[in-house]
Amino acid sequence: MMYQANNQTTDAARLEDYIQAVSHRKWLVLALALLGLLGAFVFASGRTESYTATSTVIVNPTPVGGDAGRLTGVNLDRERQILESTETAEVAIVGLDEVATTPELQALLGLPATPEVILEDLDVSFQPDSEALEVAYTSPNAERSRVTANAFATAYVGTREGEAVSYYQAIFESNNAQVEAASASIDETQTLLAQARQDRVAAARDAADSTAAQERLTELDSLIAVYQADIANLNIRIRTAENNIATAEQQDATRPDAAVLSRRAVQPAAPDGIGTTLTLVGGLALGLLAGVVGAFLLERLDTTARDEEDVALALGTTVMGSIPTLGIGHRSGASSLVMLSAGGSSRIAAAREAFRRLRSSLQFLNSSSGVSSLIVTSSAPAEGKSLTSANLSIALAQNGSRVVLVSADLRRPSLERLFGMEASRPGLSEYLSNTAELNAEKVPGIENLWLIRAGRPPANPGELLNSDRFEQMVKELEREDVEYIVVDTPPVLSTADAMSAARYVDGVIVVVDTERTETSDLLQVRADLERSGSKLLGAVMNRQKFDRGGLFRRDKYAYYKADSRRAAGA
């Protein structure tokens, strides 16, 4: 609870605040940590592990698609599409079939497979302005991912290199065909040229005798010139084709590989993503973090009065005692009267000592301020007021003081049940109704302690406790040399009974349940009691956590543990 004076709170959280929150709500932190660990375990157990192997291909420029053998730039997006094509997948499957020489290897590599199926787990990526393609293949089997990634990379490298080789092969074949055709044409033309030359010799013999022979001679000279020109052109064509072949051979010899498998995929040593161990550690860490944050938020939002400082500030009084939480077997009935028990656990020993400390505080008030009559109440039911009244009265009586315990919770009396006394007999309600005399009965087995029963439930308990008869009862008991009058009343916020009776006693002790009482309720109790003119003597913290020690703390009850062990040994 973050209650402070003047209802001001601070938003600055310190390390101590987190430690306190975790200490108060350690089971929540532990539960969330285990929940995070369980969730991580379920996640790790339910997922299918996969392995990704990656090979790298360097793509170099080639003359394919270029002009006059010039190298063209690389379009990696186009090359990625080629690598992810069905044609490349078919080549890769052929490569896998060659590797899988046994049925076991075929099963390992997922064969037989179709291009569509094998392409589902392939991922090809590249960085802009780079020359590399990353060929990644994912599979439930690490070996399959390695072999398949390399098969795709090898298939692509072979395909791209084949394109470059085919390009130059086409140049060689085309130019060689041109050489062969030109050579054949030269042979034919040379035959025609030789015949034309023979015909010219014959025509030259007859040219002097006839005009027709002279014309024939001129025609043959023209034909010979044409044949000679054709042969020269064909030789030029042959030399051009031979130059093209030589240039292509030089380019083919000096060009870089069209694609290079620069890094072969290796078998992955671990599955993809976070490993099982890291997943479990991460789940535990997230659970712990959620637990700490949740504990801190709940602590900030919690208005329960858990600390003495909270109670003292809310009620404007001191805390007279802190009663540790009792075990289930000591929370009701006669077993809750811990002042009557001997030995027992360290918790019970601590509770007895707490009631003795409360007795000492009350004795100090008696000696310094004359406080002898008091009301023990609480803000709400079931906060331990009756148990505190009974054990405080026993502690006072055990110290030799004459004590009268008044069961003034006329609506739901509890003291009679604690002491094993009949509740239906006439008591306080009959006395206040003026139908019976005051009867303080000796509590069996306890020296110096008397009990005034509640009596039968009346119709108007508030009016009875606000009557002169109640004041008369207190004064009468004081005249009987009673040193302490302890009055157990209903809770302040449930009825007006406690405020009515508080007018006639020396003060009020408020029992605070550290597991249930809200600070706002204590503020209201304080306002109601101040309005009625009652004096607050102090508060008693009930069900205080039994501190077993821990981080930055010392065990408050180590002394009682040792004492209880000695008592058990005796």
Cα 385 to the center of its chain, rounded Å: 43
Helix (H) / strand (E) containing 564: helix 558-569
- Of the chain, the end-to-end C-alpha distance in Å amounts to 43
Sheet holding 319-324, edge to edge: 319-324, 536-544, 507-513, 373-378, 484-488, 403-407, 449-452, 441-442
- Mean pLDDT, the chain, whole residue set: 86
Contact 458, 449 (CB under 8 A): no
Dump pLDDT digits (tens) for 293-321: 887 887 777 778 888 888 999 999 999 99
**Nearest in space to 179 (alpha carbons), one of 224, 123, 242:** 242
Q: What is the mean pLDDT of the segment spanning 436-459?
A: 93
Inter-CA distances, 404 with 253, 282, 438, 486, 487, Å: 119, 62, 12, 6, 8
pLDDT at 68: 58
Please check the confidence at residue 460 and state whether its pLDDT lies above 60: yes
pLDDT at 305: 80
What is the DSSP code (8-state) at residue 63? S
Dump pLDDT digits (tens) for 170-216: 989 999 999 999 999 999 999 999 998 998 888 787 766 677 777 88
Contact 171, 216 (CB under 8 A): no
Query: How many percent of the chain have pLDDT more than 90?
Result: 57
Exposure b/e, 292-304, CB count within 10 A at least 16 = b = bebbbeebeebbb
Query: Within 10 A of 188 (CB to CB), how many other CB atoms are there?
Result: 13
Reported confidence tier of residue 570, pLDDT bands at 50, 70, 90: very low
**Nearest in space to 449 (alpha carbons), one of 387, 501, 397:** 397
Amino acid at 317: T
At 60 the three-state DSSP class reads: coil
Q: What's the whole-model pTM score?
A: 0.58
Q: Residue 553 contacts by C-beta under 8 Å, 6 or more apart in sequence?
A: 23, 547
Q: Cite the beta strand spans of 242-362 per DSSP E.
A: 259-263, 319-324
Burial of 98 (0-12, 13-18, 19+ CB in 10 A): exposed
Q: Cite the beta strand spans of 317-402 per DSSP E.
A: 319-324, 373-378
Dump pLDDT digits (tens) for 89-117: 999 999 999 888 888 888 888 888 999 99
Distance CA 190, CA 270 (A): 77
- Phi/psi at 509 (5° precision): -110, 130
Q: What is the mean pLDDT of the segment spanning 434-453?
A: 93
Distance CA 450, CA 537 (A): 23
Strand partners, 259: 59
Distance CA 310, CA 5 (A): 9
Structure tokens at 435: 């139908």
* Least confident interval from 186-200, 341-355, 442-456: 341-355
Identify the top-confidence range among 96-110, 137-151, 328-342. 137-151
Region label for 569, one of left (φ > 0), alpha (ψ between -120 and 50) or beta (otherwise): alpha
* Owner of token pair 């040994």: 569
Contact 189, 230 (CB under 8 A): yes
- Phi/psi at 555 (5° precision): -75, 115
At 258 the three-state DSSP class reads: coil
Contact 399, 505 (CB under 8 A): no
DSSP per residue over 234-294, as a string? HHHHHHHHHHHHHHHHHHHHHSPPSEEEEE-----SS-SSS-HHHHHHHHHHHHHHHHHHH
**Domains, the chain, with CATH or none:** 14-47+274-300 (no CATH), 51-263 (no CATH), 303-569 (3.40.50.300)
pLDDT at 226: 93
